[in-house]
Amino acid sequence: MERWTRIGVLALQGAFREHARVLERLDVAVSEVRLPGDLDGLDALVIPGGESTTIMRLAELYGLDEAIRAFAGPILGTCAGMIVLDREHLDLADLVVERNAYGRQVASFEADVELVDDPRPLRGVFIRAPRIRELGPQVEVLGRLDGDPVLVRDGPLLLASFHPELTDDTRVHERFLSLVRERVVARTPEEVRSR
Amino acid sequence: MVERGTLRVKAGLAEMLKGGVIMDVVNAEQARIAEEAGACAVMALERVPADIRRDGGVARMSDPEKIREIQEAVTIPVMAKCRIGHFAEAQILQALEVDYIDESEVLTPADLEHHVDKWAFDVPFVCGATNLGEALRRISEGAAMIRTKGEAGTGDIVNAVTHMRAVFGAIRRLQAMREDELYAAAKELQAPIELVRWVAEHGRLPVVTFTAGGIATPADASLCMQLGADGVFVGSGIFKSGDPERRARAIVQATTHYLDAKILADVSSGLGEPMVGISASTLPESERLEARGW
């Protein structure tokens, strides 16, 4: 991917450095987002795992919640990132997520996620993980664990209830980059000039 | 295959706490205040370190009833402390399903030679360290997170700074060494060569590293983050201050925006009285918690 593609990682709290590390390995320019102005000029955004209550509180304090709602590019949300994008938080993704649905940390686990379009399983690390309770009709399920959707796409949003940033398998991030690439290629000449 | 209690799962929770503040709380009400202020986890205790220091006597694991009360009050992770080497207390904490066990020098040590074998547990452990060798010994025993010790219950940041400088400075020195010099370094550090080599190669500890002991102001939190901490523990600093709710919120913001001096100036304004504090250098040897653990 061209280096002029710039992806922001929400760096309020959580595993933002791990996401940045994976993206940099995939040759993408990455910057940290802490305030609304940090979103300017970004092609896409990653909302990492962390504590969703902490991330929401810090986002609201400086108007970052509204700025993310108005953000036009693709967003990757993992674990807490998926929670903050659901109907009951930022209301960008058409789904409802139950927090800590598998229980406390002793119940955290890793397991193979079955991908819809790839026979090779994906090792998923589930930490105090959320579970999708309701899915909107247009949401596409891309990965399942024991039948439950754990990796889904809703238009420009890619959401995982596990932590692809904690393993060496970069397939989730690569899928996100192909989403970003679609959007960047589809840009009109006016949009490109205005950047 | 489903696997629980792997190092990736244990250390992974600490990754999710990074950039956050873990607050000591003694009851459900304080836990709710901490969560509301944006704490990424709480440490359930019977007494905050400043009170343990004042009361003296033997400090032990909290009453399980207290821990349950706090677990029921919040949805963020709940941690609890066991005494150094007291694996039976740790087993009880695991049965209570606390999210992290802190094998802590703030409590009175139960074993003067051995720490808990932390590989034997599915619940992850965080341990204190004053230097790199100590941190690597705890990691070799299975700790999935490290916190530099500082001097708990003083409100004096000086020891936290000393310990961070010791750990992070030693890592930078390892990075400058030739491969064949690492053996002697491992011997000096009294740490396994494999871990020493990993640290030299990656320039950091293999687990998340927080700072604890003496953090009382937003500026303290920013200082720790700028020195290289992944996040901070605040013990007595919040609920021993004049306005705990405001101070808690301010320290959370300072930990995220640690490089933004304007935000730090704003959140530091009009916070009311900080905890009174004790200068760590005036403490007699026998009252220094940092010296517990080895």
List pLDDT tens digits, range B225-284. Answer: 999 999 999 988 899 898 999 999 999 999 999 999 999 999 999 998 887 778 878 888
What pLDDT score does A31 carry?
96
Half-sphere exposure of A184 (CA within 13 A, CB side): 18
Whether residue A53 lies within 8 A of chain B, CB to CB, comes out as yes
Does B157 score more than 60 pLDDT?
yes
What pLDDT score does B228 carry?
97
What pLDDT score does B290 carry?
83
Query: pLDDT tier at A3 (50, 70, 90 boundaries)?
Result: low
What pLDDT score does A4 carry?
65
Q: What is the mean pLDDT of residues B134-142?
A: 98
Nearest by CB to B9, from A16, A104, A109: name it: A109
Query: pLDDT tier at B292 (50, 70, 90 boundaries)?
Result: confident
**B18 flagged as catalytic:** no
DSSP secondary structure, chain B, as one string: --EES-HHHHHHHHHHHTT-EEEEESSHHHHHHHHHHT-SEEEE-SS-HHHHHHH-S---PPPHHHHHHHHHH-SS-EEEEEETT-HHHHHHHHHTT-SEEEEETTSPPS-SS----GGG-SS-EEEEESSHHHHHHHHHTT-SEEEE---TTS---HHHHHHHHHHHHHHHHHHTS-GGGHHHHHHHHTS-HHHHHHHHHHSS-SSEEEE-SS--SHHHHHHHHHHT-S-EEESHHHHTSS-HHHHHHHHHHHHHTTT-HHHHHHHHTT--PPP----GGGS-GGG-GGGS--
Tokens (6 digits) for B66:
């207290």
Chain A residues with CB inside 8 Å of B37's CB? 57
Does B26 score more than 80 pLDDT?
yes
Q: Which of A108, A114, A146, A169 to mutate to test the interface with B (most CBs of B within 10 A)?
A: A108
Query: pLDDT tier at A148 (50, 70, 90 boundaries)?
Result: very high
Q: What is the mean pLDDT of residues B38-61?
A: 90
Searching chain B, which residue's CA lies closest to the CA of residue A48? B16
Whether residue B18 lies within 8 A of chain A, CB to CB, comes out as yes
Label residue B122 exposed, middle or buried (CB < 10 Å: 0-12, 13-18, 19+): middle
What pLDDT score does A57 carry?
95
Q: What is the mean pLDDT of residues A144-164?
A: 97
Does A1 score more than 70 pLDDT?
no
Among the residue ranges A106-110, B43-47, B180-184, B193-197, the one predicted with the least confidence is B43-47
Query: pLDDT tier at B53 (50, 70, 90 boundaries)?
Result: confident
In the set B10, B18, B66, B81, the catalytic residue is B81
Q: Which of A78, A106, A168 to mutate to test the interface with B (most CBs of B within 10 A)?
A: A106
Across the interface, whether the CB atoms of B9 and A106 are under 8 A apart is answered no
Does B293 score more than 90 pLDDT?
no
What pLDDT score does B72 carry?
97
B188 vs chain A: nearest CA distance in angstroms? 31
Chain A residues with CB inside 8 Å of B253's CB? 58, 61
Mean pLDDT, chain B, as a whole number? 95
Whether residue B262 lies within 8 A of chain A, CB to CB, comes out as no
Query: pLDDT tier at B123 (50, 70, 90 boundaries)?
Result: very high
End-to-end CA distance of chain B: give it in Å, rounded: 38
Across the interface, whether the CB atoms of A127 and B12 are under 8 A apart is answered yes
pLDDT tens for B255-265 read: 999 999 999 99
Which residues 26-45 in chain A show a CB within 8 A of chain B? 34-35
Across the interface, whether the CB atoms of A110 and B75 are under 8 A apart is answered no
Whether residue A163 lies within 8 A of chain B, CB to CB, comes out as yes
Q: Which of A17, A78, A127 to mutate to test the interface with B (most CBs of B within 10 A)?
A: A127
**Catalytic residue set of A:** 79, 163, 165
Does B224 score more than 70 pLDDT?
yes
Three-state secondary structure readout of chain A: CCCCCEEEEECCCCCHHHHHHHHHHCCCEEEEECCHHHHCCCCEEEECCCCHHHHHHHHHHCCHHHHHHCCCCCEEEECHHHHHHCCCCCCCCCEEEECCCCCCHHHCEEEEEEECCEEEEEEEEECCCCEEEEECCCCEEEEEECCEEEEEEECCEEEECCCHHHCCCCHHHHHHHHHHHHHHHCCCHHHHHHC
pLDDT tens for B160-177 read: 999 999 999 999 999 999
- Can you say whether the dihedral through the CA atoms of B240, B244, B249, B254 is positive or negative? negative
Query: pLDDT tier at A113 (50, 70, 90 boundaries)?
Result: very high
Nearest by CB to A163, from B12, B41, B253: name it: B12
pLDDT tens for A169-191 read: 999 999 999 999 888 766 665 66
Across the interface, whether the CB atoms of A17 and B18 are under 8 A apart is answered yes
pLDDT tens for B195-221 read: 999 999 999 999 999 999 999 999 999
Instruction: Give percent of chain B with pLDDT exceeding 70.
Output: 100
What pLDDT score does A28 carry?
93
Tokens (6 digits) for B24:
């000591």
pLDDT tens for A40-88 read: 999 999 999 999 999 999 999 999 999 999 998 999 999 999 999 999 9
Query: pLDDT tier at A131 (50, 70, 90 boundaries)?
Result: very high
Rg over alpha carbons for chain A, rounded to the nearest Å, is 16
Angle at B34 between CA B28 and CA B37, to 5 degrees: 140
Rg over alpha carbons for chain B, rounded to the nearest Å, is 18
A17 vs chain B: nearest CA distance in angstroms? 9
Q: What is the mean pLDDT of residues A81-98?
A: 97
What pLDDT score does A2 carry?
54
Domains of chain A (ranges plus CATH)? 6-193 (3.40.50.880)
Name the residue among B292, B178, B200 with its Cα closest to residue B189.
Answer: B200
Q: Which of B1, B7, B10, B18 to mutate to test the interface with A (most CBs of A within 10 A)?
A: B18
What pLDDT score does A5 carry?
85
**CB distance B232 to B238 below 8 Å:** no
Across the interface, whether the CB atoms of A50 and B18 are under 8 A apart is answered yes
What pLDDT score does A191 carry?
60
Which residues 90-149 in chain A show a CB within 8 A of chain B? 99-100, 103-112, 125, 127-128
